[in-house]
């Protein structure tokens, strides 16, 4: 880690904290994620879902993992630096996005997600905070800590993603699901981009399900018509 210098903290989560850093050799800005638990072997590090998935995913709309460092039993991920996330981009706006900006953002998200699914993974935690941006012009999918292989077999944990972006089957505590849950989340994100408000902002799992129900009923009426 002596090749990098820390500038300031960017965030702190359950599993790790993220620091803005600079590579001393190149002067390039990077995001350094330090895991909170200790790792006592390289094999343990390489078996992490985030490492296994990102080693195989090289795409313009997927965050690039530049390096993995284990030092004194601490594990560090060195990522390319992105200025903000999509939640921050929406929160700071005084006016709605123009149609062209929404189309551009959604095209990038769907390009990245298609690549992830085609290469055998599903994300399980698609939400605005996990979509990193350099303004609306460049968007990348990040945070693969909950990613699973599509060919893996259920049961999966029923606690995935932030509640507002969970597919109905996950809200209903199903442990048998697959990549379509990412598509549901992306649909919720698209609606939020248009309105700058969450689509299903439930205060609990049950509340979120009941917010979903009117849309299901409306879709059923349209099919019957």
Annotated active-site residue in 12, 73, 92, 125: 125
Distance CA 132, CA 62 (A): 9
Pair 95, 147: CB distance under 8 Å: no
Tokens 């992105």, located at residue = 82
**SS3 call for 141:** strand
Q: Which ranges of the chain would DSSP assign to H, the alpha helix? A: 42-46, 49-54, 86-91, 99-118, 168-171, 180-195, 205-224
Ligand-binding annotation for 34, yes or no, is: yes
125 assigned to active site: yes
Cα 118–Cα 53–Cα 13 angle in degrees, nearest 5:
125
Distance CA 168, CA 207 (A): 12
Known binding positions for ATP: 34
Task: Point out the annotated binding site.
Answer: 34
Residues annotated as catalytic (active site), given as ranges: 125
């Amino acid at each position: 880690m002596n090749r990098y210098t820390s500038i300031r903290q960017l965030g702190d989560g359950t599993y790790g904290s993220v620091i803005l850093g600079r590579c001393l050799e190149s002067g390039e800005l990077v995001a350094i994620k330090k895991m909170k638990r200790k790792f006592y072997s390289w094999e343990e590090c390489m078996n992490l879902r985030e490492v296994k998935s990102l080693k195989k995913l090289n795409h313009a709309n997927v965050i690039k993992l530049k390096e993995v460092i284990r030092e004194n039993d601490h594990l560090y991920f060195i990522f390319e630096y992105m200025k903000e996330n999509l939640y921050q981009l929406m929160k700071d706006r005084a006016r709605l996005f123009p149609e062209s900006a929404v189309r551009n953002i959604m095209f990038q998200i769907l390009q990245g997600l298609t690549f992830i699914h085609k290469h055998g993974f599903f994300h399980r935690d698609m939400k605005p905070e996990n979509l990193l941006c350099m303004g609306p012009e460049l968007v990348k999918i990040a945070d693969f800590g909950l990613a699973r292989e599509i060919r893996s077999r259920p049961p999966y944990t029923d606690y995935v993603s932030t509640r507002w972006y969970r597919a109905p089957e996950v809200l209903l505590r199903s442990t048998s699901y697959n990549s379509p849950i990412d598509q549901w989340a992306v649909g919720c994100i698209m609606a939020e981009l248009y309105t700058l408000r969450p689509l299903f902002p439930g205060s609990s799992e049950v509340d979120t399900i009941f917010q979903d129900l009117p849309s299901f009923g409306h879709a059923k009426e349209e099919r019957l018509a």
